[in-house]
């Protein structure tokens, strides 16, 4: 699985305008919906917000990976962005989030869903990747950095 093929530049927003966790999640769901990635926007949003209410997806290092399984997605889909201002996500390390990757997959694609979460998490463990994400000023630039680091770590 290649994150850069699932997470296309038109599904990346720099900057995100949402001021809080729910606003950022809704903005990314809307971005997926606008690009034709969702079969049912409301179902996808509801599944991600429900999962977030159960336990924060702020994993640390300034990253959050809100995700959910929903019939609202025909296949695994991703959107990402960098908030205009850091967003509080109740992260494991107590720090606000600077980079958000949202993932929605159909209920029957658990394996692919877990692989995607693991791959994003592995990328964020690389300090130079985090620095590259912080420097990215556009969706295209952020996508190129994700793609190059993903290839280098393969």
CA atoms within 13 A on the CB side of 62: 17
Identify the band that residue 151 occupies on the pLDDT scale cut at 50, 70 and 90: confident
**68-120 pLDDT, tens digit each:** 999 999 999 999 999 999 999 999 899 999 999 999 999 999 999 999 999 99
CB 35 within 8 A of CB 24: no
* Residue 152 pLDDT: 85
The pLDDT of residue 154 is above 90: no
Tokens 């996808």 belong to which residue? 44
DSSP character for 7? S
CB 33 within 8 A of CB 27: no
Domains in the chain, ordered, with CATH?
3-153 (3.40.930.10)
């Amino acid at each position: 699985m290649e994150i850069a093929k699932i997470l296309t530049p038109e599904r990346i927003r720099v900057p995100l305008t949402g001021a809080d966790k729910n606003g950022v999640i809704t903005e990314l769901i809307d971005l997926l919906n606008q690009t034709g990635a969702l079969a049912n926007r409301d179902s996808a949003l509801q599944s991600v917000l429900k999962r977030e209410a159960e336990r924060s997806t702020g994993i640390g290092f300034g990253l959050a990976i809100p995700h959910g399984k929903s019939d609202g997605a025909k296949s695994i889909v991703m959107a990402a962005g960098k908030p205009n201002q850091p967003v509080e996500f109740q992260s494991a390390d107590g720090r606000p989030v600077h980079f958000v990757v949202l993932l929605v997959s159909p209920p029957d694609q658990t394996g692919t869903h877990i692989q995607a979460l693991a791959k994003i998490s592995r990328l964020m463990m690389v300090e130079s990747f985090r620095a590259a994400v912080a420097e990215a000023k556009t969706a295209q630039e952020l996508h190129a950095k994700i793609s190059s680091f993903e290839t280098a770590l393969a």
